[in-house]
Amino acid sequence: MTQETLLDRRTRLLGKHFPLFYDRPLHLLRGEGVWLYDADGRRYLDVYNNVPHVGHCHPRVVDALCTQARMLNIHTRYLHENIVNYAERLTATFDDDLKMALFCCSGTEANELALRIASKHTGGTGIIVSDHSYHGNSATLAALTTAFPTSEVKGPYIRTIRVPDPYRDGQTGDATAAEVATVIREMEAQGIKLAALLVDTLFSTEGLPNVPEGWLKSAVDHVHAAGGLFIADEVQPGFGRMGSHMWGYQAHGVTPDLVTMGKPMGNGHPLAGVVARGNLVNEFAAESMYFNTFGGNPVSAAVGLAVLDVIRDENLMENARAVGDYIQAGLHKLAANYDIIGDVRGRGLFFGLELVRDRTTREPAPRETSRIVNQMRENGVLISKIGRHENVLKMRPPMLFNREHADLLLSTLDRVIGSI
């Protein structure tokens, strides 16, 4: 089967808009640690994938998956230790107030559940999100997607704010916090009660802006004062990726009412969840029977536990901090050499370069960004792009990325950016 034929069959069966990376699509066969291997046996350094959080096909995670899958895989209306042990281990990584967990299969399901809990608690329907964000693919979440078009109508109960971005537009933290207060007032004037503020605490889709300290706390104070809840979407920053903290919200000095998590949670296995404050779960479930067929089943819980074990035993959060700092330093050196690099972004093992055509006007360089992403792939390093101008190189490798990998990334970036 040639690659072209595979692509044709894919288009016929899955549709012509089914997303595909790179001008020259990559046909992958094997993954191991931070490495991916294509159908020709060529090796690629993976600086994109956060789903294989502790590394592609980590043997300890796969062993946990297979051992449990051979033993029992069943829904959670029977007693089983795995889900209880996992909920205990997971909630132990959160602040004291966040001590209950519900499990599901995807970030979409997690954000749906958190919004349902918030609506029930507040009696409200109003939702505030960032004006360049994405939280999932259900009808409700598509309606509040602002990072790309969807066919859903954005009703008056969805309001957007602009996340502060000191580099790009000078929006300050105070201005964004004030915007939150304003949209709450506007909703109330229309008779819409606030349910929740929902943000990715690393603002990755927004392009990883270096947000000022304290702004999120001010924004959340407005939300709480209006009776709303704060939902921290930890799909991107969670599970130690930021190096400094296990969860992104912790870097903002604020405690959420609900935390949602997904992608990295099962290292590829479809596992997601919601961790909730105080009595929110009991209050919600008293009125709405919530049951998720696959969520938290013995296999999913075993996988989730193994991921937590590996993060701890391989010191992956500490590694994210140390290697992340090393890469940040390297990116700053590159920025000193190349005018196209307008800004260096990120924290821990999630970093980006904002590319501009002119350092004074800061005119975004999306075409160059796309060329670099594709050239990096041709040079054996997989990255992508984000941001409202699609001009931020997105780099987010598995958590066992080390200095040697970092050197290969930096030298390849140096060569590719130099050739553009």
Exactly one of 14, 23, 42, 253 binds a copy of itself (CB under 8 A); that residue is: 14
Q: Is 79 in the site for a copy of itself (CB under 8 A)?
A: yes
Residue 239 or 284 having the CB closest to a copy of itself: 284
Coil, strand, or helix at residue 302?
helix
DSSP states along 320-372: HHHHHHHHHHHHHHHHHH-TTEEEEEEETTEEEEEEBS-TTT--B-HHHHHHH
Size of the site for a copy of itself (CB under 8 A): 101
Exactly one of 41, 78, 170, 191 binds a copy of itself (CB under 8 A); that residue is: 78
Q: Is 193 in the site for a copy of itself (CB under 8 A)?
A: no
Give the residue from 253, 197, 205 showing the smallest Cα distance to 230.
197
Q: Is 42 in the site for a copy of itself (CB under 8 A)?
A: no
What are the CB-based long-range contacts (under 8 Å, 24+) for 187-190?
Answer: 187/126, 187/156, 187/157, 187/159, 188/226, 190/156
Contacts of 324 (CB under 8 A, 6+ apart): 243, 346, 347, 348, 349, 350, 351
Q: Is 329 in the site for a copy of itself (CB under 8 A)?
A: no
Nearest distance from C-beta of residue 43 to a copy of itself, angstroms: 13
Q: Is 76 in the site for a copy of itself (CB under 8 A)?
A: yes
Exactly one of 23, 42, 43, 69 binds a copy of itself (CB under 8 A); that residue is: 69
CA distances from residue 129 to 145, 199, 391, 411 in whole angstroms, order as listed? 8, 6, 22, 37
* HEC readout, 146-200: CCCCCCCCCCCCEEEECCCECCCCCECHHHHHHHHHHHHHHHHHCCCCEEEEEEE
Nearest distance from C-beta of residue 349 to a copy of itself, angstroms: 18
Residue 41 or 149 having the CB closest to a copy of itself: 149
Q: Is 260 in the site for a copy of itself (CB under 8 A)?
A: no
Residue 7 or 225 having the CB closest to a copy of itself: 7
Q: Is 282 in the site for a copy of itself (CB under 8 A)?
A: yes
Exactly one of 2, 40, 96, 149 binds a copy of itself (CB under 8 A); that residue is: 149
Exactly one of 40, 96, 151, 170 binds a copy of itself (CB under 8 A); that residue is: 151
Residue 135 or 321 having the CB closest to a copy of itself: 135
Q: Is 138 in the site for a copy of itself (CB under 8 A)?
A: yes
Q: Is 41 in the site for a copy of itself (CB under 8 A)?
A: no
Exactly one of 148, 191, 336, 360 binds a copy of itself (CB under 8 A); that residue is: 148
Instruction: End-to-end CA distance of the chain: give it in Å, rounded.
Output: 35
